[in-house]
Structure 1
Amino acid sequence: MSSTPEYARLSVAPMMDWTDRHERFFLRRISAHVQLYSEMVTTGAILHGPRDRLLAFDPAEHPVALQLGGSDPAALAECARIGADLGYDEINLNVGCPSDRVQSGRFGACLMGEPALVAASVAAMRAAVAVPVTVKHRIAIDEMPEWETLIGFVDRVADVGCDRFIVHARKAWLEGLSPKENRELPPLQYGLVRRLKEERPALHITINGGVESLDDAVAHLACVDGGMLGRAAYQNPYVLAEADRRVFGADTPVHTRHEIIDAYCNHIARETSAGTHLMAMTRHILGLFNGLPGARAFRRHLSENTPGFDGTPDEAVALVRQAASLVRDGRRVAA
């Protein structure tokens, strides 16, 4: 059986431009146990770019995984080693992104058509690190037959020792659809992912795609090992508020939204002291009060006052708390 850690039962997907270290720190104020992922980072960026900035994370983010983009086994192995040495709990290979830019670099979803290369890459990564190496992928690409492609791909990669697969339950079309359309237009095929678990019970299988709520994730856990939320957790992060209790059985309090803001303000004060722009942090909290009276005023106050902000850390914290106060009483607060 897979030796998968308990935290893999629920995770938040790696999302470019979204799941940076500030977003991950923020989500950790909501749930202590849900697994978090970095944005995809390419091997080239790690080997030749500002590594410290790209891979930085706070110890409070654990459990946290580093997602890599690439197709050269040696480069992936070296980047996996770097990530593991920095303390990431898991190294994940992106075989699901269908964007033209990613395809041009020969990584992402196009690698579904090269299972032998993916297997070689995973084998090299596993040889380089002691932490789990996992793969996030689609069901199939383009005109490839769904089930035959899925089971063939998973079997080939499992042969080199990988036992955790995160399956976005859609095909990816490499031409004719944008990345956004590829997330929405190809039909969800949860049945194939469930069949994969049934036929390969020793593998840990996580469903991704169309998981819009904690209820959705919990329902999937009846058939597979893990549920992964994507944009739903970004647009309405409070969806994770009861995750620790409902998914992990933890006897921990459910924090109110305002308690979460108060905790995040400590991060804001520390980061603005270090020169981080306020908007880099507040952009991640805009959806926290979704559905509550005053939520629009909260978003507007932050959107109007954080661009160009050049105040002190105390002023940054005051601005955020002032925005949150609009949800309490609905009053408009002057900038």
Structure 2
Amino acid sequence: MKAAIIGATGYGGAELIRLIQHHPYLELGTLVSTSQTGPVARVYPHLSHIDRSFEGLHVDELCANNDLIFLATPPGVSSEWTPLLAERGKIVIDLSGDFRLDRPEVYQAWYGKQPAPANWLRRAVYGLSEWFGEEVKEAQIISNPGCYPTATLLALLPLLQAKAIDPSTIIIDAKSGVSGAGRGLKQAMLFGEVNENLRPYKVDGHQHIPEIERFASFVAGQEIRVNFVPHLVPMNRGILVTIYAKRMNNYSIDDLSEIYQNHYQKASFIRLRQQEWPETKQVQGSNYCDIAWHIDERTHQVIVLSAIDNLMKGAAGQAIQNANLRLGWPEESGLTFSPLFP
């Protein structure tokens, strides 16, 4: 099947190109960019072996020549284009945040962009496949989760479902490499600004907060509010999330182990580390999420750590995983490779 990529010149788009090249059931279709046209090699020299070009967006031609469409676009773009593509019967996997929230007013408040129509928001399925995989199998619009929410929710949801933590005490400390900010030119992303620096940002409210709260509330069966503070670290890839919450019902460390093992025993891309603490280097370039947990018996605090590659499990890898589920292929198709090391 041919897979088109809209927004193919960004970091997420480049990863999709790399993954689709080696996918057993997909081949590269149209590569769309509204910012650059011309040979792929001119934008990405590391892809100079690909004799392809970036093109402008022509919806009718795109739909005629492609079976599946990935959107790796900035916020506010997919909300306009996805309905046009879905109306023509195409399966759309959106890597932006435009379809992750079910209420237009919430999206507009947090993203500051024009939201998609409410009827299309309701049709989108959230592509956190380890939790909503059955819904993904039937979806026409799949909303790929954000990078921070992926690392956070995969670690947090089993504990909320089991009522092992007090949901009113959740604190999320998250750190990401600079590729999470995208490929656009920004002064704050210059080498001299980022190197040898650790920077908190959006302390007053990150746009991924309502996404985390929406699905945490759904699984917990009650309204959840979290404290979430992201930080930028001087590395290219990776997210490490540390979650703190008060223990409930006197759960032991063995109880937490059982909770995680029961939920993720069949999850191909979840690696439970228990007393081995995750590191971003251990998941780099892969679709794995490494999770570990600890109980501080002195403070009765549960501490959970989660590591992903933000461009893989946090973006392109998870998008391919969702495509596999939706099209009835083995979930691991095109994703069975080890992390890069060193």
TM-score, structure 2 length as denominator?
Answer: 0.31
Structure with the higher strand share, 1 or 2: 2
Structure with the higher helix share, 1 or 2: 1
